[in-house]
């Protein structure tokens, strides 16, 4: 496909000066191919114009349907006036048409002002929720309508639920900023930052709802998904239906169970590997193999890795590693690894509770105050297992006092990256490790803690899988979700 | 006055050609409001002069001939026109339009699919350009960009759409 002549482009944009117009006419006369190219460009441009106009008109189909019903109810007008009457009516009924246009114009302005039917309202709030209106921050109240052009912001520990006229629910987590655009962009919801969990009602044909983040647009026709907009990337996880995820290029279709991210490197679709809710599972899935390596041989060339099926157990509320000396009689590293290769590009999310573990006993303590275990740690390994891949070590509150990325391949311990800021000691948290090509990102809840490029060489013959491991006091793992990069 | 049968025939032929004629007027007039007026005038002239239409000729060519006359009349008005196509060039343009537009009708449904696939920002830009009929400067103000960037972006969008349409047509041909 050749680029059109700059004069043609300028003509299509109505941007020709008088001199350029003369130049264009001379160029068109210079060769028949020039005129042909000019006509083809114009024909295509006009097709685009009429298709866009048609699309917008179809979006107003409701009005046409009403009009059609009204005509059916009053059939006499057509038969009396006949074809010519319909054809020339603007001239005969000029005054009526003028008035009609005024009324229609007023209705269109009103309709645009109403956010093209989205009509968001605040269904509920918790904590500090504000509306940014006319440059002022005002407290948001339940039931309050949000006008086009306004933004809603939740405070760090606040939340809000917005409802659209069609029943769509948008639940905003804390520190989230959502805006509704005015005018023709009124079917767009801007997620400037933060997390929204959406349950989108079925949208009318040709009128998708578009969620804009700083990195990409998510187009939906009726689905449920979570969408996060963070400074370095935006990501979505689709629970139901399909969405279209694009950053200006053709984009990708993302189906239920899949996830997608967008950042400065572009967009990425993630295929589900597993979605394990350990709170409801009756048995550990067979793809999870648990092994143990004692401390003595761990950092030597002769690692003694032995099967340890009793190294993990399901208990009330999730999955937990067994207490190491109790289970194995010695200290070491317990590893639960996925037996199938998943590739090097992987995203892993672990939901955990840092509840106390009672050695040898899964009964929850009677005293709720003791349900806090400040000394928990968990490792997530990617691009290999905990022995030959990259490990992300989360630990609270002591060593390594925060998060570190390391590897113990081939034998020695190699520190690759570190964030010394302390981990939250108690409560429920979501840990996320995302590796895409050489880039590794580590998140705790919604906070990006490490964003680093890895170049440390791993064994080429390793199984490119993932693993969870721990060497001390493991938290209660509520769920494990894993996606691998790319498509089948 | 046309009888009922002739009216029906006119409406059928006009329905087939209307889009190409209206597009032609928009392409040559480059002013949305004026183009709409001229398109209505042209439709009325076509209806009134339908009795002169030679049924052996393609209706589109005849209708474009009438539209060409209307466009020339529009450009003759010195108050409206700066520089315009001379008679010969406009005639050649019209002739080529008849050929090209007739061959381009198969693109319409593919184009609708491709438009639906446009991401939000390009979609907004084409709507501002072709539905709202805003100039590049106005679009730039609306979306917080520069007019030169808008012109480049619109050209890229047109090229993307063209590539998408060609791909759609190739796929359609493979499946039929």
The CATH number covering residue A414 comes to 2.60.120.560
Contact criterion met (CB < 8 Å) for B100 and A90: no
pLDDT at A470 (0 to 100)? 85
Averaged pLDDT for residues A57-80: 42
The residue with greater pLDDT, A20 or A381, is A381
- Helix, strand, coil tally for chain B in percent (to 5): 80, 0, 20
Residues A81, A188: one domain?
no
User: What percent of chain B lies above the pLDDT cut of 90?
Assistant: 9
Q: Is the pLDDT of residue B80 over 90?
A: no
Per DSSP bridges, beta strands A188-199 and A209-212 are parallel
Cα B32 to Cα A461, B23, B119: the distances in Å are 65, 11, 25
Q: A interface mutation test: which of B119, B121, B156, B166 has the most A CBs within 10 A?
A: B119
In a domain, A1, yes or no: no
pLDDT band at A111 (very low <50, low <70, confident <90, very high): very low
Residues A21, A101: one domain?
yes
Residue of chain B nearest A13, judged by CA positions: B151
Asked if B46 is an interface residue toward chain A (Cβ–Cβ < 8 A), one would say no
Contact criterion met (CB < 8 Å) for A83 and B7: yes
CB B100 within 8 Å of CB A43: yes
Residues A199, A291: one domain?
no
Q: Is the pLDDT of residue A99 over 60?
A: no
pLDDT band at A137 (very low <50, low <70, confident <90, very high): confident
Contact criterion met (CB < 8 Å) for A21 and B112: no
C-alpha span between A445 and A452 (Å, rounded): 18
pLDDT at A159 (0 to 100)? 95
Contact list in A for residue B127 (CB cut-off 8 A) is 52, 56, 184
Residues A282, A343: one domain?
yes
Q: Evaluate the CA torsion angle B150, B156, B157, B162 in order and state its sign.
A: positive
Closest by alpha carbon to B162, among B115, B130, B102? B115
pLDDT at B77 (0 to 100)? 67
The residue with greater pLDDT, A394 or A78, is A394
pLDDT at A348 (0 to 100)? 97
pLDDT at A370 (0 to 100)? 38
- Please tell me the distance in Å from A73's CA to the nearest CA on chain B: 23
In a domain, A93, yes or no: yes
Domain-terminating residue out of A115, A141, A157 = A115
Averaged pLDDT for residues A42-67: 68
Asked if B48 is an interface residue toward chain A (Cβ–Cβ < 8 A), one would say no
pLDDT band at A237 (very low <50, low <70, confident <90, very high): very high
Contact criterion met (CB < 8 Å) for B119 and A42: no
Contact criterion met (CB < 8 Å) for B47 and A87: yes
The greatest distance separating any two alpha carbons of chain A, rounded to the nearest whole angstrom, comes to: 100
C-alpha span between A131 and A271 (Å, rounded): 37
Contact list in B for residue A248 (CB cut-off 8 A) is 119, 121-122
Q: Token digits for A339? A: 């037996």
Averaged pLDDT for residues B1-13: 79
pLDDT band at B1 (very low <50, low <70, confident <90, very high): low
Domain-terminating residue out of A115, A148, A177 = A115
pLDDT at B107 (0 to 100)? 82
Residues A38, A152: one domain?
no
The residue with greater pLDDT, A89 or A428, is A428
Residues A417, A322: one domain?
yes
In a domain, A419, yes or no: yes
Q: Is the pLDDT of residue B125 over 70?
A: yes
Nearest to B93 among A13, A39, A53 (CB): A39
Give the domain extent around A107. 6-115
User: What percent of chain B lies above the pLDDT cut of 70?
Assistant: 94
Task: For each of the domains in chain B, give its residue range(s) and CATH number, in order of start.
Answer: 1-102 (1.10.1740), 118-176 (1.10.10.10)
Residues A170, A111: one domain?
no
User: What percent of chain A lies above the pLDDT cut of 90?
Assistant: 37
C-alpha span between A139 and A153 (Å, rounded): 10
CATH number for the domain spanning A181: value is 2.60.120.1440
Q: Picking from A251-255, A370-374, B92-96, which range would have the lowest pLDDT averaged per residue?
A: A370-374
- Please tell me the distance in Å from B64's CA to the nearest CA on chain A: 13
Q: Per-residue pLDDT tens for B98-115?
A: 888 877 777 888 888 888
Contact criterion met (CB < 8 Å) for B89 and A28: yes
pLDDT at B44 (0 to 100)? 82
C-alpha span between A161 and A195 (Å, rounded): 12
pLDDT at A360 (0 to 100)? 45
- Please tell me the distance in Å from A238's CA to the nearest CA on chain B: 19
Q: Is the pLDDT of residue A477 over 90?
A: yes
pLDDT band at A183 (very low <50, low <70, confident <90, very high): low
Asked if B113 is an interface residue toward chain A (Cβ–Cβ < 8 A), one would say no
Q: Crossing angle for the helix pair A76-92 and B4-29, nearest 10 degrees?
A: 40
In a domain, A271, yes or no: no
In a domain, A457, yes or no: yes
Q: Crossing angle for the helix pair A76-92 and A94-113, nearest 10 degrees?
A: 90
C-alpha span between A460 and A458 (Å, rounded): 6
Q: Is the pLDDT of residue A468 over 70?
A: yes
Cα A214 to Cα A192, A247, A476, B167: the distances in Å are 6, 9, 35, 29
pLDDT at A116 (0 to 100)? 47
CB B69 within 8 Å of CB A7: no
Contact criterion met (CB < 8 Å) for A88 and B117: no
Averaged pLDDT for residues B148-165: 89
Q: Residue A134: which residues within 8 A CB-CB, separation 6 or more?
A: none
Nearest to B159 among A1, A35, A39 (CB): A1
Q: Residue B100: which residues within 8 A CB-CB, separation 6 or more?
A: A36, A39, A40, A43
pLDDT at A174 (0 to 100)? 92
Q: Token digits for A203? A: 């949208």
Residue of chain B nearest A206, judged by CA positions: B116
Residue of chain A nearest B2, judged by CA positions: A84
Residues A376, A438: one domain?
yes
Q: CB atoms < 10 A from the CB of A146, how many?
A: 22
Beta bridge partners of A380: A392, A468
Domain count, chain A: 3
C-alpha span between B140 and A14 (Å, rounded): 15
Q: A interface mutation test: which of B120, B124, B164, B170 has the most A CBs within 10 A?
A: B120
The residue with greater pLDDT, A96 or B151, is B151
CB A193 within 8 Å of CB A228: no
Residues A251, A329: one domain?
no
Contact list in B for residue A4 (CB cut-off 8 A) is 155
C-alpha span between A316 and A134 (Å, rounded): 51
The residue with greater pLDDT, A440 or B148, is A440
Residues A287, A207: one domain?
no
Closest by alpha carbon to A239, among A259, A221, A256, A261? A256
The residue with greater pLDDT, A7 or A362, is A7
Q: Per-residue pLDDT tens for A25-44?
A: 888 988 888 899 999 999 99
How many beta-carbon pairs below 8 A join chains A and B?
139
Q: What is the 3-state secondary structure (H, E, C) of A334-399?
A: EEEEECCCCCCCEEEEEEEECECCECCECCCCCCHHHHECCCEEEEEEECCCCCCCEEEEEEECCC
CB A180 within 8 Å of CB A189: yes
Q: Per-residue pLDDT tens for A326-382?
A: 667 788 889 999 999 999 999 999 999 876 554 444 444 433 433 445 578 899 999
CB B71 within 8 Å of CB B38: yes
pLDDT at A286 (0 to 100)? 93
Residues 51-80 of B with CB under 8 A from A: none
pLDDT band at A102 (very low <50, low <70, confident <90, very high): very low
Residues A175, A145: one domain?
yes
Q: Is the pLDDT of residue A282 over 50?
A: yes
In a domain, A249, yes or no: yes
pLDDT band at B89 (very low <50, low <70, confident <90, very high): confident
In sequence order, what DSSP letters do the residues of A73-138 get, joined into one string? H-THHHHHHHHHHHHHHHHHTHHHHHHHHHHHHHHHHHHHHTTTTT--EEEEEES-EEEEETTEEE
The residue with greater pLDDT, B176 or A204, is A204
C-alpha span between B153 and A44 (Å, rounded): 16
Contact criterion met (CB < 8 Å) for A18 and B83: yes
pLDDT at A80 (0 to 100)? 30
In a domain, A260, yes or no: yes
Asked if B104 is an interface residue toward chain A (Cβ–Cβ < 8 A), one would say yes
In a domain, A269, yes or no: no
Domain-terminating residue out of A85, A115, A145 = A115
The greatest distance separating any two alpha carbons of chain B, rounded to the nearest whole angstrom, comes to: 56
C-alpha span between B148 and B161 (Å, rounded): 20
Q: What are phi and psi of A374, to 5 degrees?
A: -75, -15
Q: Picking from A139-143, A304-308, A376-380, B11-15, which range would have the lowest pLDDT averaged per residue?
A: B11-15
Asked if B125 is an interface residue toward chain A (Cβ–Cβ < 8 A), one would say no
Averaged pLDDT for residues A209-221: 86
pLDDT band at A74 (very low <50, low <70, confident <90, very high): very low
pLDDT at B79 (0 to 100)? 53
Residues A386, A351: one domain?
yes
């Amino acid at each position: 496909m050749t680029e059109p002549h700059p004069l043609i482009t300028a003509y299509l944009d109505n941007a020709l000066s008088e001199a350029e117009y003369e130049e264009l006419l001379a160029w068109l006369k210079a060769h028949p191919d020039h005129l042909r190219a000019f006509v083809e460009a114009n024909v295509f441009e006009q097709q685009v114009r009429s298709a866009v106009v048609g699309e917008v008109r179809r979006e107003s189909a409701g009005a046409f349907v009403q009009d059609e019903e009204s005509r059916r109810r009053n059939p006499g007008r057509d038969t009396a006036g006949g074809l010519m009457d319909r054809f020339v009516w603007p001239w005969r009924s000029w005054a009526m048409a003028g008035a009609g246009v005024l009324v229609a114009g007023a209705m269109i302005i009103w309709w645009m002002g109403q956010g093209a039917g989205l009509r968001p309202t605040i269904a509920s709030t918790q904590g500090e929720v504000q509306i940014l209106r006319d440059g002022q921050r005002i407290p948001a109240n339940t039931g309050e309508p949000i006008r086009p052009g306004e933004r809603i912001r939740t405070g760090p520990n606040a939340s809000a639920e917005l409802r659209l006229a069609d029943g769509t629910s948008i639940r905003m987590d804390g520190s989230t900023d959502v805006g509704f655009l005015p005018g023709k962009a009124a079917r767009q919801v801007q997620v400037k930052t933060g997390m929204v969990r959406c349950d989108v009602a079925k949208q009318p044909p040709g009128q998708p709802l578009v969620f804009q983040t700083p990195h990409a647009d998510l187009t939906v026709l009726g689905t449920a998904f979570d969408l996060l907009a963070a400074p370095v990337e935006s990501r979505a996880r689709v629970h139901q239906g399909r969405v279209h995820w694009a950053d200006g290029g053709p984009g990708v279709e993302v189906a239920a169970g899949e996830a997608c991210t967008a950042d400065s490197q572009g967009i990425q679709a993630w295929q589900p590997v597993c979605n394990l809710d350990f709170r409801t599972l009756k048995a550990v899935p067979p793809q999870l193999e648990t092994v143990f390596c004692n401390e003595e041989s761990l950092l030597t060339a002769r690692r003694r890795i032995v099967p340890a099926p009793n190294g993990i157990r399901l208990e009330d509320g999730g999955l937990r590693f067994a207490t190491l000396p109790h289970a194995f009689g010695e200290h070491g590293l317990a590893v639960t690894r996925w037996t199938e290769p998943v590739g090097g590009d992987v995203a892993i999310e672990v939901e955990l509770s840092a509840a106390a573990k009672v050695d040898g006993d899964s009964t929850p303590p009677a005293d709720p105050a003791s349900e806090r275990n400040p000394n928990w740690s968990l490792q997530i390994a990617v691009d290999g297992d905990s022995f030959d891949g990259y490990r992300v070590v989360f630990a609270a509150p002591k060593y390594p006092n925060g998060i570190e990325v390391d590897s113990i391949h081939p034998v020695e311990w190699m520190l690759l990256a570190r964030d010394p800021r302390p981990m939250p000691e108690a409560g429920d948290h979501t840990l996320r490790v995302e590796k895409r090509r050489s880039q590794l990102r580590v998140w705790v809840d919604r906070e990006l803690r490490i964003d680093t490029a890895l170049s440390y060489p791993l064994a080429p013959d390793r199984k490119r899988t993932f693993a969870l491991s721990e060497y001390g006091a493991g938290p209660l793992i509520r769920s494990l979700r894993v996606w691998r990069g790319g498509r089948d | 006055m046309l009888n009922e049968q002739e009216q029906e025939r006119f409406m059928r032929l006009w329905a087939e050609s209307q889009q190409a004629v209206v597009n032609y007027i928009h392409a040559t007039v480059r002013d949305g409001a004026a183009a709409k007026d001229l398109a209505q005038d042209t439709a009325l002239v076509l209806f009134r002069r339908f009795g002169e239409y030679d049924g052996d000729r393609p209706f589109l060519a005849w209708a474009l001939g009438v539209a060409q006359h209307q466009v020339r009349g529009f450009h003759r008005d010195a108050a409206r026109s700066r520089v315009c196509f001379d008679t010969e060039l406009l005639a050649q343009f019209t002739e080529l339009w008849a050929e090209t537009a007739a061959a381009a009708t198969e693109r319409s449904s593919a184009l609708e699919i491709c438009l639906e696939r446009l991401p939000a920002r390009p979609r907004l830009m084409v709507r501002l350009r072709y539905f709202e009929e805003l100039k590049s400067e106005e679009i730039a103000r609306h979306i917080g960009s520069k007019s030169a960037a808008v012109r480049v972006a619109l050209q890229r969008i047109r090229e993307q759409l063209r590539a998408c349409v060609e791909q759609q047509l190739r796929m359609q041909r493979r499946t039929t």
